[in-house]
Amino acid sequence: MTTTSTHTERTLDVPGARLHYEVRGKGPLVVLCGAPMGVAAFAPLAELLAVDHTVLTTDPRGIGRSSLDDPSQDSTPQLRADDLSRLITRLDAGPAVVLGSSGGAVSALALAETHPEQLHTVIAHEPPLTELLAEREQLRAGTDDFVATYLAGDVMGAWKKFFAQADIDLPEPVMEQMFGGERDPQQVADERRWFAHELRPTAQWQPDIALLGSTATRLVVGIGADSGGQICDRTSRTLATALGIEPTIFPGGHTGFAEAPDTFAARLREVLRAG
């Protein structure tokens, strides 16, 4: 265990994995989770919230410093939800507010289905639930294609196909900067795991709308203000409609929590006060 002036780093053994997690601050528990994003992506937001909250962040199993017994194991929303449940139990500080973004939003929804007693509020920020969309078969085929492209060694080609399907327009120089040239080995390892073992189980997970609608947990579906027309804008709006709630707009785009943590934290505080 490593302690600094701002946070504590710890590990927790769970079935099939050893989770790296970090705890900041003191107060009501807020969990920030992604998939594949881990503690580094959420650190700026966590620091802002730790002024008056206990903030838990973690590297999802198989990502970053969270190791797996079996590296070939798929990362499913159910497994990641169980990991989050065990971490919340370890802290003994619930019921928790869980903000999940992207694949982490899917993890948070799975947690709301299986352990609602641990939760006060779940904020699902842009969950990529493509099975909710009418063109789900086309999207499945597209996903299979860019995963196969990546595993065949064409990294740039796979990312171009991915962003095209996500309706995200990234200029060529930005693509080159992000995915070309010399890259951090851990980033490459996490990326490969995401393509090979996490992307499909996450996007193709189907929420139990009736079960989610009957839980006492407050459910919020978040959408980035800059995400209009993108696939996660559409999946989020479809989910909100199915749950009978209005989506909640957050600053920035799909990764608004990392792009502008100050304004994102301010909006998150507004949402928490409204609950």
Instruction: Kindly tell me if the per-residue pLDDT of 5 is higher than 50.
Output: no
Across the range 201-222, mean pLDDT stands at: 96
Across the range 82-111, mean pLDDT stands at: 97
Instruction: Kindly tell me if the per-residue pLDDT of 91 is higher than 50.
Output: yes
Q: How many CB atoms lie within 10 A of CB 124?
A: 31
Nearest to 147 by CA among 107, 34, 232, 155: 155
Alpha carbons 94 and 153: distance in angstroms, whole number: 44
- Mean pLDDT score of the chain: 95
Counting Cβ atoms within 10 Å, is residue 145 exposed (0-12), middle (13-18) or buried (19+)? middle
In the chain, the domains with their CATH numbers are 2-134+205-274 (3.40.50.1820), 136-200 (no CATH)
Residue 4 pLDDT grade (very low, low, confident, very high; cuts 50, 70, 90): very low
Instruction: Kindly tell me if the per-residue pLDDT of 156 is higher than 80.
Output: yes
Residue 11 pLDDT grade (very low, low, confident, very high; cuts 50, 70, 90): very high
Read off the pTM: 0.95
Instruction: Kindly tell me if the per-residue pLDDT of 138 is higher than 50.
Output: yes
How many residues are listed for the chain in this entry?
275
Across the range 132-145, mean pLDDT stands at: 97
Q: To 5 degrees, how large is the angle CA 210–CA 216–CA 218? A: 95
